[in-house]
Chains A and B, each alone.
Chain A
């Protein structure tokens, strides 16, 4: 029997992902067999330790491989890559995961939904996000999206026995499955056209073809890639909540447990956008004439619909959902810039947005903890008098969200102020 030659793999490239997946799997077993059901918060602490361990591994990789600007270490036949973009976004995801777990530890028992599996699921989702940040292969991206989404379908429906939670989970699942269909169909068409699912090779394939210019029919191969690319964009549009694929967002944010909504609002968005960034800038830069106008129109519609929609919301979670829709449009602009500065801006924006949004959700959780179900804007009236620190924090997060895009948050908060004026007990905001 001849020996089978395995292609060389570099496990260092997937070390952060590997760590977090392993930790999650082991934690699942530890949780079932070792942790009694009345001290499940301990699972949460272990999950935090997992995030920390992943952070240490990431740091070791970053230092050990001297990852800096321009570094690009591919592995697994070029399906994943280790570069500074991927590592930066990994750091952001780890921060998001840590904050989500931290705000869940008290939230879950409070609402009687404390199950140890919650934490490994968050870790699995984070692993999926890291995979999305490092993939340079359409199939890997699909895998990352599925891993993330399926975990989120479950986490969304976690708020038993609230009907809105089940409904949200159901809606998210059905529409998500629909989007996944688009994605797979898109990959198939791209594969048919370019003969590869590797982003670099797709880029090289398109570059080798005659340049795509408006008004001239491209070769059949390129048109296949183009149509496939369109379908892939639709699927991404669903994941990052671009208008008109955004309708699930407010329903799902409202229904899901607040930490999950917080996680989703920044995590899914960051992960899907970082994958989209690679698809567009590595795989399809040759088709800019095709996707720039499409994405430009989507970004414009998204910003307008998201911001206008936020104006009339009375439920804070729904308002934050619309805010996140609006933000998706702004982030898309950074990607469309299609240059280094746009990418830098994207990473910075994701980080700032993640911190502000997670913070805002954390304030909601803190209020819920104190027995206030702060979902209606009216509940914020007089918050300053009751909880000055929380009010201050909320103000800072709101201003921060306003800072990255002023009109929506400012108008929204002004209108909420107006509404409170009507009930005659307004004082803050």
Chain B
């Protein structure tokens, strides 16, 4: 018996249990305790209190790490941690045996924290930081199965869409902060009029809407959500149905008192919401993958929520709050069920499944409850939600009650069909003689059916007693959104044969008829239009992404050619443009002497010499000739100095010119013959650039010498050289006295340069001598 056997035999059962799903039970305690903690806040919140805490964060920018618990944020927080508890337990079972489950939990809890921070934030900068964190953690979760290319590209797609939305949101939030004069959400809520009356209102509205629409998968950004189904199912159940995608809805609800209650707001939100609602439901019925069906119904539900916020008013907002809870409960349940089916049978394709009712009875029970809630049948909470939605749309007199109600009916009918596909096909369809699914299903472990059962049961419980259980919470939520106390009744039994109830009955009837008779037709039509409606946005997204890459390639090719002559051309053109702009707009040309009147013969001669030198440089076929031209220009300039009374400069310039010509010749001696001459077109282009630059410099010099400067520098030096510098040569005194430090500095620079040149020479000489191998291998010579 070795020493290591002792502890191992003692801990093995625990380790086994933890790695086989037990970890979910343990970690589930964290969100569970949070749920209880948030639940304990219910009484004061329902009583109308608002709890706030604030920590100073960036005081100089007046940004605080501030949180606020009111009816709206509490409902969201309870959903986040409550459903989170089920998901963590479920994930323990679903991911059992996954070697990287630790990483999975890390991302999941990162997301949970981010989402909690987002819904509780009371400062728009705090809100934004958590908003971005949800995007990033969602990216990590979607790409969790990083070995698959599809996961990675879906993750990137989701990140790019929500990330660009985040940028728009940031801009929108900053505009709101500027217009409202504060970053605190509580303050902004009280000063909503300030924002609405500001000139920045429209841009802020558009930008905030883009942020919310990308996050909540509204048309035309709905395409990333079905793609995100590449994530493990617990993630889809949590992020892409119950919580993260609701962040956009939350944002719109949160900003209702700040940006809402205007025609622009109502029209934008209700239009996009209604389109998304119908489009999502329509696309869902032609899918065969369980998760994709559910993903598209999620898109549809999100559209419903956005539409309701757009309609506004206490009834629509109450409907929104109720439907939010309804949707989170049934969608979380159905996604977990889809995961269980996938986990147990090995497929999510409904055409391959059947007869699971007897094999997975508990799961079946939960599914039926959830699907009935989704279909809006009494006595489930879905029915209550649907009644309220119809009440809201039929009363949306400022918009278009008929259009919105019709859209809602169509959306709901299609949802019933989708619910039917999710329940009826896999569970109750007769088991084929030879099952096509890879494995025969059986009931999953407790950890995987507990969550669905609880959520399904809650749908039933809340549906049976909405007035007692749901109404207080939604009323406080609505009060938080509308910033005024409300009392809207949420009830199961309709008060007589109201139009809403009639519409509800009609919907259910149409739904059942549609499921039994119209489903094949719908699926055919759906498949036919799939390319346009489903692939269209994906393709345009890809086109944008590829276009950006192409732009990057083009930019690199054009700007980064590697040839210094191209770099110089770009620099010279830019400077010419920049300085010409400054010259033409700012300089005074009125005193410029355009014609060389009064120039002496000597000056003409020198000027011509310089010009011909320049001409020689440009036209020379041999380097030596060009050099001679350059020398001519240099000596011409020296002569100008000579005739205008600057003998010191003449001496300097003369030595430098001579020296540089000599050095040039020494270098040229070792260079190959000038053989490749640029083409005609290139030369014309270069001539234009050079000509423009020359013109710009000429203009600059003309302007410089034309102005009658008020103060001249020369007298100062002429007067002070002798008394202060003790020298009669003004130039010398300037160099060694007035600007002595500069001169010393320049000498040091030259010293450093000399040292450097010595070093470089030593490297080359030493390198050749010491290590011939390095030279010859050329491995690093890219």
Question: A: which residues have CB within 8 A of B?
Answer: 4, 21, 28, 76, 79, 111-113, 115, 117-118, 120-121, 124, 139-140, 143, 146-147, 150-151, 153-155, 157-164, 170-171, 174-175, 178, 182, 189, 191-193, 195, 217-221, 223-224, 226-227, 230-231, 234, 238, 244-245, 247-248, 250-251, 254, 290, 294, 305, 308-313, 341, 373, 406-407, 410-411, 414-415, 417-418, 421, 426-427
Residue B752 is within 8 A (CB to CB) of chain A in the complex: yes
Q: A373 CA to B555 CA in the complex, in Å?
A: 27
- A154 in contact with B759 given A247-B567, A309-B552 (CB within 8 Å): yes
- A112 in contact with B587 given A151-B752, A221-B710, A418-B156 (CB within 8 Å): no
Contact of A121 among B564, B578, B739, B759 (CB under 8 A): B759
Contact A143 B745 (CB under 8 A): yes
Contact A160 B764 (CB under 8 A): yes
Contact A247 B559 (CB under 8 A): yes
Contact B552 A143 (CB under 8 A): no
Give chain A residues whose Cβ lies under 8 Å from the Cβ of B775. Answer: 161
- A410 in contact with B586 given A164-B782, A311-B549 (CB within 8 Å): no
Give chain A residues whose Cβ lies under 8 Å from the Cβ of B562. Answer: 251
Contact B760 A158 (CB under 8 A): yes
Contact A308 B710 (CB under 8 A): no
Residue B532 is within 8 A (CB to CB) of chain A in the complex: no
Q: Which of B725-782 contact A (CB under 8 A)?
A: 726, 739, 741-742, 745-746, 748-749, 752-753, 755-760, 762-764, 766-767, 770-771, 774-775, 780-782
Q: A164 CA to B779 CA in the complex, in Å?
A: 12
Give chain B residues whose Cβ lies under 8 Å from the Cβ of A174. Answer: 564, 568
Q: A250 CA to B706 CA in the complex, in Å?
A: 42
Expressed in whole angstroms, the minimum distance between the Cβ of A398 and any Cβ of chain B is: 13
Residue B571 is within 8 A (CB to CB) of chain A in the complex: yes
Q: A244 CA to B577 CA in the complex, in Å?
A: 12
Contact of B152 among A21, A113, A305, A417 (CB under 8 A): A417
Contact B568 A175 (CB under 8 A): yes
Closest to B737 in A: A4
Contact A160 B767 (CB under 8 A): yes
Contact A147 B579 (CB under 8 A): no
Contact B556 A312 (CB under 8 A): yes
Closest to A24 in B: B752
Q: Mark B705-731, 1 if CB is under 8 A from A, else 0.
A: 011111101000000000000100000
Consensus secondary structure, chain A interface:
helix
15 contacts between A and B (CB under 8 A): A76-B741, A113-B763, A117-B759, A143-B749, A147-B749, A154-B760, A158-B759, A158-B760, A160-B763, A163-B781, A220-B708, A250-B560, A308-B555, A312-B549, A414-B159
Closest to A246 in B: B559
Give chain B residues whose Cβ lies under 8 Å from the Cβ of A79. Answer: 741
Contact B571 A223 (CB under 8 A): no
Contact B564 A171 (CB under 8 A): yes
Q: A81 CA to B774 CA in the complex, in Å?
A: 48
Expressed in whole angstroms, the minimum distance between the Cβ of A140 and any Cβ of chain B is: 7
Expressed in whole angstroms, the minimum distance between the Cβ of B213 and any Cβ of chain A is: 20
Contact A217 B586 (CB under 8 A): yes
Residue B588 is within 8 A (CB to CB) of chain A in the complex: yes
Expressed in whole angstroms, the minimum distance between the Cβ of B699 and any Cβ of chain A is: 10
Consensus secondary structure, chain B interface:
helix
Most buried by A among B555, B560, B570: B560
Closest to A21 in B: B748
Expressed in whole angstroms, the minimum distance between the Cβ of A344 and any Cβ of chain B is: 8
Contact B704 A192 (CB under 8 A): yes
Question: B: which residues have CB within 8 A of A?
Answer: 60, 146-147, 149, 152-153, 156, 159-160, 163, 167, 548-549, 551-553, 555-556, 559-560, 562, 564, 566-568, 570-571, 574-575, 578-579, 582-583, 586-588, 700, 703-704, 706-711, 713, 726, 739, 741-742, 745-746, 748-749, 752-753, 755-760, 762-764, 766-767, 770-771, 774-775, 780-782
Closest to A4 in B: B726
Q: A311 CA to B160 CA in the complex, in Å?
A: 14
Contact of A112 among B551, B752, B760, B767 (CB under 8 A): B767
Expressed in whole angstroms, the minimum distance between the Cβ of B588 and any Cβ of chain A is: 5
Q: A313 CA to B556 CA in the complex, in Å?
A: 9
Q: A112 CA to B149 CA in the complex, in Å?
A: 42
Q: A192 CA to B713 CA in the complex, in Å?
A: 8
Give chain B residues whose Cβ lies under 8 Å from the Cβ of A248. Answer: 567
Contact B548 A311 (CB under 8 A): yes
Closest to A9 in B: B741
Expressed in whole angstroms, the minimum distance between the Cβ of B764 and any Cβ of chain A is: 6
Across chains A and B, which 10 residue pairs bring their CB atoms closest together, nearest first?
Answer: A220-B707, A154-B756, A311-B552, A143-B745, A312-B552, A247-B567, A160-B763, A117-B759, A244-B574, A150-B753
Contact A308 B548 (CB under 8 A): yes
Give chain B residues whose Cβ lies under 8 Å from the Cβ of A305. Answer: 555, 559
Q: A91 CA to B528 CA in the complex, in Å?
A: 67
Contact A223 B587 (CB under 8 A): yes
Contact B763 A150 (CB under 8 A): no
Contact A223 B703 (CB under 8 A): yes
Give chain B residues whose Cβ lies under 8 Å from the Cβ of A155. Answer: 756
Contact of B560 among A143, A150, A189, A247 (CB under 8 A): A247
Give chain A residues whose Cβ lies under 8 Å from the Cβ of B574. Answer: 244-245
- 15 more CB-based (< 8 A) A-B contacts, given A161-B764, A178-B568, A427-B146: A76-B741, A111-B780, A113-B767, A117-B755, A147-B749, A150-B749, A162-B780, A217-B587, A217-B588, A223-B586, A223-B587, A231-B575, A234-B578, A244-B559, A418-B152
Contact A189 B579 (CB under 8 A): no
Q: A410 CA to B162 CA in the complex, in Å?
A: 13
Expressed in whole angstroms, the minimum distance between the Cβ of B129 and any Cβ of chain A is: 11
Expressed in whole angstroms, the minimum distance between the Cβ of B749 and any Cβ of chain A is: 5
Expressed in whole angstroms, the minimum distance between the Cβ of B727 and any Cβ of chain A is: 11
Expressed in whole angstroms, the minimum distance between the Cβ of A216 and any Cβ of chain B is: 9
Give chain A residues whose Cβ lies under 8 Å from the Cβ of B746. Answer: 143, 146
Contact B588 A223 (CB under 8 A): yes
Q: A182 CA to B559 CA in the complex, in Å?
A: 21
Contact A294 B578 (CB under 8 A): yes
Contact A158 B763 (CB under 8 A): yes
Contact A175 B571 (CB under 8 A): yes
Expressed in whole angstroms, the minimum distance between the Cβ of A323 and any Cβ of chain B is: 14
- A226 in contact with B586 given A121-B756, A121-B759, A220-B707 (CB within 8 Å): yes
Expressed in whole angstroms, the minimum distance between the Cβ of A411 and any Cβ of chain B is: 8
Q: A406 CA to B139 CA in the complex, in Å?
A: 14
Closest to A216 in B: B586
Expressed in whole angstroms, the minimum distance between the Cβ of B312 and any Cβ of chain A is: 34
Contact B163 A161 (CB under 8 A): no
Expressed in whole angstroms, the minimum distance between the Cβ of B551 and any Cβ of chain A is: 6
Contact B163 A115 (CB under 8 A): no
Closest to A305 in B: B555
Contact B582 A290 (CB under 8 A): yes
Q: A189 CA to B579 CA in the complex, in Å?
A: 13
Q: A226 CA to B582 CA in the complex, in Å?
A: 8
Contact B745 A147 (CB under 8 A): yes
Give chain B residues whose Cβ lies under 8 Å from the Cβ of A21. Answer: 748
Expressed in whole angstroms, the minimum distance between the Cβ of A356 and any Cβ of chain B is: 18
Contact of B742 among A143, A224, A311 (CB under 8 A): A143
Expressed in whole angstroms, the minimum distance between the Cβ of A46 and any Cβ of chain B is: 16
Contact B749 A146 (CB under 8 A): yes
Contact A227 B583 (CB under 8 A): yes
Give chain A residues whose Cβ lies under 8 Å from the Cβ of B767. Answer: 112-113, 160-161
Give chain A residues whose Cβ lies under 8 Å from the Cβ of B760. Answer: 154, 157-158, 160
Contact A220 B552 (CB under 8 A): no
Give chain A residues whose Cβ lies under 8 Å from the Cβ of B567. Answer: 171, 175, 247-248
Q: A85 CA to B714 CA in the complex, in Å?
A: 35
Expressed in whole angstroms, the minimum distance between the Cβ of B53 and any Cβ of chain A is: 26
- A139 in contact with B739 given A175-B567, A247-B567, A426-B146 (CB within 8 Å): yes
Give chain A residues whose Cβ lies under 8 Å from the Cβ of B741. Answer: 76, 79, 140
Contact A164 B781 (CB under 8 A): yes
Contact B759 A115 (CB under 8 A): yes
Give chain B residues whose Cβ lies under 8 Å from the Cβ of A195. Answer: 711, 713
Expressed in whole angstroms, the minimum distance between the Cβ of B45 and any Cβ of chain A is: 35
